[in-house]
Structure 1
Amino acid sequence: MTEDAMETLKQHLKTLQLPYMREVVEREIENAVKMKLTYQAFLTRLVEAEVLQKTNRSIATKIHLARFPRICTLEEFDFSFQPSLHAAEIRELGELGFIHRKENVIFLGPPGVGKTHLAIALGVKACTARLRVAFFTASELADLLYASLADRSTPQKLASLSRYHLLIIDELGYMPMDKQRANLFFQLVSKRYETGSIILTTNMPFDEWDKVFGDTIASAAIIDRLVHHSHIFHIQGHSYRMKDKLKADASA
């Protein structure tokens, strides 16, 4: 292929918004000649490269937009350290059927046992499946909704938060909510009820949630909507952070 013909081809690929094909087409033509590929095999190879690149870029964008505090995976989780968890049940959640069924997941347990790790790992799995995910701490989410009262954008904010396939709410129970924030939190849970999945982590048993929401009736209403169609895991065990510290001390 002449230099002018190659430049014309690259320009066409640019016009068609196929940037990766444009980047590699010259090299792939050379490889096709060396490997004696058929036209079909060459074209398939070139198109597959573009699809893979776009898929990876889409996944990276979804992970970035989810605002995870860090990246965790199920493969990294040490189930042998938390025998109260059944690895098979968590890995089944990783197949994401619960999201398609609009079910919730609740991880309860003391600090450091891996609740946030598992929530993030399932969120990353969902991003990899190109689903829309958002991560908030409970206090961040309550403050975000409360701030929407100032410009009367609460309906729009609730609608926006309801469009995610998966909403992760971390650390419920660390900060109590006033009546307005508790009411807004209830509105969000109600709006997502049977329409979108929530993963929630908390250090407080259900019978103490009235301390978070300041009202027994409000907490009961929130619990009722969250636990219906939900997978609940009570994690009992040692702290991962303590495990890592002991390991570091042992190697020092």
Structure 2
Amino acid sequence: MNNYIKLQNNLDELNLLNIKNNIDKYLDLINMGEKSVIDALYELSELEVKAKEKRAMNACVKVANFPFLKGIEDFDFEFQPGINKQEILDLKSLRFVENNENILFVGTPGVGKTHLAVSLGIECAKHRYSTYFIHFQDLMSQLKKAHKENRLETRLKHFAKYKVLIIDEIGYLPIDTDASNIFFQLISKRYEKHSTIITTNMPFSEWGEIFGTPMLAQAILDRLLHHSHIISIKGESYRLKEKMEFFANSSSNFVRP
């Protein structure tokens, strides 16, 4: 067995498949004098480094529990002209994470709040920030269950540890006083330590209806709104738009017998 075959086998054994798949090309470039051995080895090693980074990035995205994978580039800013696109692109720089700032997306259902929250979350995960997405009602169910089982503090620490926690759909259903107090504890643990991204369909003036008392709602809002970016979205529903387009297309394709 010659050394070329042994090299191929070693690359397989070490799982350096990017080098294996490109080595013939680089050997040809070396033989033609178009690449030095050092340059070839460096570029081959770079392929493996980038592949490793991509695997790590994909792993971060996978464990973040996103309901879908859509980037900011997939968002239709023309349909929602009230949104400051430059502000969203600035948030994409992730300065808010380094500054432990919160983001609150406020608007009626279907206007793209969750899309933007997920898009920013994906960006965070890609840059190896620990990120997690959860619906508000699911979060509260987990925390209330932990409270009943005398392990609330452990569960609070779990959700408090994430560099970026995305809590979706605050306001669709109210919660009881015990749950409100538990949520306040979580927000307090994250306050000025990590970034929290919130989506809500309720204006802040009505959060007392969600959390039972205006005083508790105010205490939660004080911690969320301090060092925060508030994105208010006033526009039409994407879901309604898609349905209207579907029916319009269906009607145009209908042929009478």
Residue of structure 2 equivalent to 1:24: 21
2:41 matched to 1:43?
yes
Which of 168, 176, 179 does residue 170 from structure 1 map onto? 168
Q: What amino acid maps onto 1:229 in structure 2? A: H
Residue of structure 2 equivalent to 1:79: 77
Structure 2 length-normalised TM: 0.89
Specify the SS of the correspondent of 1:79: coil
Give the Cα separation in 2 of the matches to 1:147 and 1:94.
35
Q: What amino acid maps onto 2:24 in structure 1? A: R
Residue of structure 1 equivalent to 2:253: none
Deviations 1:131-164 (A, max 9, x none): 1110001011111111212332222222222221
Equivalent pairs: percent with the same residue? Answer: 38
Q: CA deviation at 1:88?
A: 0.4
Specify the SS of the correspondent of 1:136: strand
In structure 2, relative to structure 1, the CA distance for the partners of 1:164 and 1:6 (3 Å cut) is farther
In structure 2, relative to structure 1, the CA distance for the partners of 1:175 and 1:34 (3 Å cut) is farther
Residue of structure 2 equivalent to 1:105: 103
Instruction: Say whether the 8 Å CA contact 2:23–2:44 is kept in structure 1.
Output: no
Residue of structure 2 equivalent to 1:134: 132
Q: What amino acid maps onto 1:75 in structure 2? A: E
How do 1:145-156 and structure 2 match up within 5 A? 145-156=143-154
Which of 225, 230, 234 does residue 227 from structure 1 map onto? 225
Q: CA deviation at 1:129?
A: 1.3
Moved more, 210-219 or 194-203: 210-219
Q: CA deviation at 1:66?
A: 0.5
Instruction: Say whether the 8 Å CA contact 1:135–1:168 is kept in structure 2.
Output: yes
Give the Cα separation in 1 of the matches to 2:205 and 2:75.
29
Instruction: Say whether the 8 Å CA contact 2:12–2:20 is kept in structure 1.
Output: no
Q: CA deviation at 1:5?
A: 3.0
Instruction: Say whether the 8 Å CA contact 1:134–1:168 is kept in structure 2.
Output: yes
Count of equivalent residues = 249
Specify the SS of the correspondent of 2:96: helix
Give the Cα separation in 2 of the matches to 1:159 and 1:11.
46
Moved more, 27-36 or 184-193: 27-36
Give the Cα separation in 1 of the matches to 2:148 and 2:12.
45
Structure 1 length-normalised TM: 0.91
Instruction: Say whether the 8 Å CA contact 2:96–2:195 is kept in structure 1.
Output: yes
Instruction: Say whether the 8 Å CA contact 1:67–1:135 is kept in structure 2.
Output: yes
Give the Cα separation in 2 of the matches to 1:181 and 1:31.
66
Deviations 1:179-229 (A, max 9, x none): 221111111100000000011000001111111111222111100000000
In structure 2, relative to structure 1, the CA distance for the partners of 1:222 and 1:55 (3 Å cut) is same
In structure 2, relative to structure 1, the CA distance for the partners of 1:176 and 1:4 (3 Å cut) is farther
Instruction: Say whether the 8 Å CA contact 1:28–1:46 is kept in structure 2.
Output: no
Deviations 1:77-111 (A, max 9, x none): 11111121110001100110001100000011100
Q: CA deviation at 1:76?
A: 1.1
Give the Cα separation in 2 of the matches to 1:246 and 1:30.
57
Give the Cα separation in 2 of the matches to 1:240 and 1:190.
34
Which of 88, 91, 96 does residue 90 from structure 1 map onto? 88
2:162 matched to 1:160?
no
Give the Cα separation in 2 of the matches to 1:151 and 1:19.
47
Moved more, 174-183 or 92-101: 174-183
Which of 105, 116, 119 does residue 114 from structure 2 map onto? 116
Runs of 4+ in 1 over 6 A off after TM superposition: none
Moved more, 150-159 or 131-140: 150-159
Which of 172, 178, 181 does residue 179 from structure 2 map onto? 181
Give the Cα separation in 1 of the matches to 2:116 and 2:40.
42
Give the Cα separation in 1 of the matches to 2:20 and 2:136.
44
* Superposition RMSD in Å: 2.0
